[in-house]
Amino acid sequence: MKIILLQDEKKLGKKGDIVEVSEGYARNYIIPKKIGVEATAQNRNDLKLQKAHQEKLAKEQLDAAKALAAEIESKQVIVKMKAGEGGRTFGSISSKEIAAACKEQNGIELDKKKIQLQENLKSFGSYEVTVKLHPQVSAKLAVKVVEA
């Protein structure tokens, strides 16, 4: 009997796969536990439509990420930091502060977890920070740290 999996099953396959299983296994385990449904013509058609819809959504998300990356790369964020005598800085600039400054200055809301810093910025100057927007898209954000 052919079954369309509704969720990932360790020994059978991934969600959306069509697998061949014995009729007893399908009727007594897979269908009652809603792990899969019988692969009828209607269910196969529904699966095709779902996959097409998911591909369309993924493409839209990728296009949106590319547009946001282009916008981010054209902007600069200025972050102010306190300094003591001799130009020594107090503390450091973290991804949270960069995200807040980006929202305040440019109106672009970034998730602090998507901003990738090798280490916190501890001195004045200009830096390029990588922002991971999508698994396939990342952007470079220009960050300038100045004295408050």
Q: What does residue 84 show for φ and ψ, rounded to 5 degrees? A: -100, -155
pLDDT, tens digit (0-9, with 9 covering 90-100), for 91-132: 888 899 999 999 999 898 999 999 998 888 888 889 999 999
pLDDT, tens digit (0-9, with 9 covering 90-100), for 40-82: 999 999 999 999 999 999 999 999 999 999 999 999 999 988 8
Report the C-alpha gap between 71 and 11 in whole angstroms: 45
Q: What is the pTM of this model?
A: 0.71
3-state secondary structure 3-68: EEECCCECCCECCCCEEECCHHHHHHHHCCCCCEEECCHHHHHHHHHHHHHHHHHHHHHHHHHHHH
CB-count exposure of residue 118 (10 Å: 0-12, 13-18, 19+): exposed
Model confidence at 148, pLDDT cuts 50, 70, 90, reads confident
